[in-house]
Structure 1
Amino acid sequence: MASLIRVSRREVALMAVTFFWGGTFLAVHLVQQYCGPLFFVGVRFGTASLMGIAVFHRMLRGVTAAEIRAGTAIGLCMCVAYVSQTYGLRTISSSRSAFLTALYVPMVPLLQWVVLRRPPHVMSWVGIGLAFCGLMLLSGTGAVSGAFGPGEAATLLGALATTGEIILIGRFAGRGDSRRITVVQLVVTGVLALAAMPVMGESLPAFSWAWVAGGVGLGAASVLIQLTMNWAQKAVSPTRATIIYAGEPVWGGLVGWIAGDVLPATSVAGAACIVAGVLASELRLPARKRGPDATS
């Protein structure tokens, strides 16, 4: 029993990251009234990049090609994840976004199956089934009726990109200096978001202290978050990290509820199914022990 409840410092750090993530849904949702998603992600991670470079500029002189490749791959996933999630928050509530984003948890074993050839275990399939049921309930009357709109679709894309980010961090975290990899991924995320603005037809917003405070504040936090994830996942497996991240929709839903989000009964049931699927996907059935007379 003691081994089941023992929690390391790195796992506690990831729990703190998850708690913070839960509160960012509402903050980003509110800021979207003042600027577009690409601009906001660009400001957020542009700020984080400048801070990371300022703090670790000496260490960056020793950056290797492998660290640049790792940071670029992670940064690409991060850019897609944050831009998609931010776009979704323009039209859906922070609570709804939090629970849909949580679908990356059952997605992790599926992507590991496709990319790493590691088939999901039985409970992963249970979690995937529950998550799919929750998704249908959250969509209201179902995707067929059109109730599942662009905001939800973008959020699901963000969840898929987050899945890739977690797997890549787990793969590359131990193959270089986490500080240098962190700075590279922050730079890539910010630059890609800003570069995509003219391509996607997003214009510069009018000045507002709302997007300044949101972008700079979350940018500073992003440095600490990515450093923590890269540091912690050197010893915490992607699977273990994912179940810790499963607390994100709970905190996000709670913050949204406190702020006045109202979810119908079907959405509450859908959120409960997703949380149940998140937890079920990381459970392991106990192995049967063979008794001394089992071979007789």
Structure 2
Amino acid sequence: MLHNPVLDKSPAPRLMIGRPELALIGVTVLWGATFLIVHHAMSLSGPLFFVGLRFGTASLLALPLALPVLRGLTLRELMAGGLIGVGIFTGYTLQTWGLQTISSSSSAFITAAYVPLVPIMQWVILRRRPRLMSWIGVVLAFAGLLLVAAPRDGLSLGKGEALTLISTVAIALEIIFISLWAGKVDVARVTLVQLATTALLAFALMAPVGEAIPPFSWTVILSACGLGAMTALIQFVMNWAQRTVSPTRATLIYAGEPVWAGIIGRIAGDRLPPTALVGGLLIVAAVIVSELKFERRGKD
């Protein structure tokens, strides 16, 4: 996930729903569908090969956009893209690994907890104290995670839930890394570097961890390459739409990602218990609440 709904600055929210908002809604539906696609592909492929193929495809699609300005690549951009790529690699690999053992709906709801986590990571790394609503969002997200991650086994976390939960830390760090270099680097060059870094790390670590190249499968190829194309398309649409859509409005739209994943998962036969559904709603509420801002009215 390369968007930055917490830190981006945009014009004030509008009441009408125009083409940018509709485009972001479409992006959110696509995001929701990716969890189910990866979940099914994990029965045929290891996580590292799948992540490498997915982001390798995205890198090839991003190359034509970055090629005209690639000669100007600086050491700062290489470092920025590399660190962001490490965050993306860690987050997506752990999330994909977790999808081997948990449902697409559970993964989507747990992953959404990265949004209220970002202000806490900002406090630790950038010394920016979170607002009250951010703390409330964290509490709601924590309560929701307990219900989603352990609906049948008390408070114990399974391997898949734990890996997905750790992945949210990497995703939050990715967003903070993006904010550190925002406005200081060329977006096309850094995007290419971060996508390529993710793919190279995934393929390079296959041998050390003992993951073999899976038998040829059109399901794996089409799923990974299709998700790579979706990654490139989503990034382009978000960069276009968030020029006019405020970060708060965008976050409210993005909060629908796990909801769409749950709907698509249910159509495909995924049935979450009632406690997990309540937990999912708490996490969505946490995403929304963490973005609310209240301004004090001046005295008349």
Given candidates 208, 226, 233, the residue that maps to 2:235 is 226
* Residue number in structure 2 paired with 1:68: 78
Code of the residue aligned with 1:41 in structure 2: it is V
1:123 match: 133
Query: Which runs of structure 2 are paired with 1:97-116 in the superposition (5 Å)?
Result: 97-116=107-126
Note the alpha carbon deviations across 1:225-266, whole angstroms, 9 max, x for none. 334455666787877654443221111111111111111111
Quote how far apart the aligned CAs of 1:31 are: 0.7
Normalised TM-score (structure 2): 0.87
2:172 matched residue in structure 1: 163
234-243 vs 179-188, which moves further:
234-243
Give me the whole-angstrom Cα distance separating, in 1, the residues matched to 2:180 and 2:246.
9
In structure 2, the partner of 1:93 is 103
Seen in structure 2, the aligned counterparts of structure 1 residues 112 and 7 have a Cα distance that, compared at 3 Å, is farther
Instruction: Please tell me whether the aligned partners of residues 116 and 134 of structure 2 are also in contact (alpha carbons under 8 angstroms).
Output: yes
Counterpart residue number, 1:267: 276
Gaps of 5+ in 2: 1-11
> What is the identity, as a one-letter code, of the residue corresponding to 1:45?
F
% identity of equivalent residues: 52
Aligned-residue offset at 1:126 = 1.2
1:26-78 Cα shifts (integer Å, max 9, x gaps): 01111111100000000111122223224532321222222212211111111
Change (3 A) 1:164 1:60: same
> What is the Cα deviation at residue 176 of structure 1?
2.1
Please report how far the alpha carbon of residue 289 of structure 1 lies from its aligned counterpart in structure 2 after TM superposition: 3.1
> Are the equivalent residues in 2 in contact too, given 1:112–1:119 (CA < 8 A)?
yes
- Residue 294 of structure 1 aligns with which residue? none
Does residue 140 in structure 1 map to residue 144 in structure 2? no
Q: 2:226 aligns with which of 198, 217, 226?
A: 217
Task: Spell out, residue by residue over 1:260-283, the C-alpha distance to the aligned partner (whole angstroms, 9 max, x if none).
Answer: 111111111111111111111111
Deviates more, 1:264-273 or 1:135-144: 135-144
CA contact (8 A) 1:166 1:238 kept: no
Letter in 1 for 2:58: A
Q: Which residue of 1 aligns with 2:290?
A: 281
Contact 1:178 1:227 in 2 (8 A): no
Q: Cα gap change, 1:91/1:59 in structure 2, threshold over 3 Å: closer, same or farther? A: same
User: Structure 1 CA distance, aligned partners of 2:236 and 2:162?
Assistant: 29
Instruction: Indicate conservation of the 8 Å contact 2:140/2:282, yes or no.
Output: yes
What TM-score, normalized by structure 1, do the two folds share? 0.88
Q: Distance in 1 between matches of 2:104 and 2:129?
A: 33
Mapping 1:149-160, distance limit 5 Å: 149-160=158-169
Question: How far apart are 1:166 and its partner, in Å?
Answer: 2.2
Check conservation: 2:13, 2:246, Cα contact below 8 A: no
CA distance in 1, matches of 2:13, 2:189: 34
Amino acid at match of 1:277: A
1:81 to 2:75 alignment: no
Tell whether the 8 Å contact from 2:251 to 2:288 is kept in structure 1 after alignment. Answer: no
CA contact (8 A) 2:133 2:291 kept: yes
State the match for 2:35 in structure 1: 25
Q: Distance in 2 between matches of 1:11 and 1:234?
A: 11
Q: CA RMSD in A?
A: 2.4
User: Which residue among 49, 57, 61 is the counterpart of 2:59?
Assistant: 49
Query: How many residues are treated as equivalent by the alignment?
Result: 288
In 2 relative to 1, CA 237–177 (structure 1 residues): closer, same or farther, beyond 3 Å? Answer: farther
Which of 1 and 2 has greater Rg?
A: 1
* Contact 1:126 1:281 (8 Å CA) reproduced: yes
Residue 78 of structure 1 aligns to a residue whose secondary structure is helix
For 1:243 and 1:66, the matched residues in 2 are separated by: 33
Measure the CA separation in 2 of the matches of 1:231 and 1:66: 25
- The answer on 1:174 being equivalent to 2:197 is no
Separation (CA, whole Å) in 2 of partners of 1:170 and 1:12: 26
| TM-aligned CA deviation for residue 18 of structure 1 | 2.4
Maintained 8 Å contact 1:105/1:243: no
Q: Does structure 2 conserve the Cα–Cα contact (< 8 Å) formed by 1:22 and 1:251?
A: yes
